[in-house]
Amino acid sequence: MNIRMESTIRRNPEMVHSDMDGETVMMSVNEGNYYGLNGVASQIWELLEQEMRVDAICTELLKRFDVEEEQCRSEVLAFLDEMATSNVIEIA
């Protein structure tokens, strides 16, 4: 995928999800795949309740966690790329 800091991301509407003790559990209705997110990944999923730019996701995470900006950007881009490849999220 080609996700950049200025990309706008949204949840794939076919994903069914639930919060279970701080962990997000998701299932693709069409593909039957299950995913589990915890920690920061669950927070990113929560932020994506509305379409959001990647740079805004990083800004919010920097407020919540003690992490260097460059590390945050790098890890968020890698995570979102993986999620887009799995069709969990879409580039708007």
Do the domain assignments include residue 92? no
Mean pLDDT of the chain: 93
Give the domain range for residue 22.
Answer: 8-87
- pLDDT, tens only, 50-83: 999 999 999 999 999 999 999 999 999 999 999 9
Token pair recorded at residue 72: 């945050």
- pLDDT, tens only, 15-24: 999 988 878 9
- Provide the CATH number for the domain around residue 42: 3.90.930
pTM: 0.91
Total domains in the chain come to: 1
For 66, phi and psi rounded to 5 degrees?
A: -90, 90
Do the domain assignments include residue 40? yes
Measure the CA–CA gap between 77 and 73, rounded to whole angstroms. Answer: 6
Measure the CA–CA gap between 14 and 11, rounded to whole angstroms. Answer: 8
Run of H or E residues at 91: strand 89-91
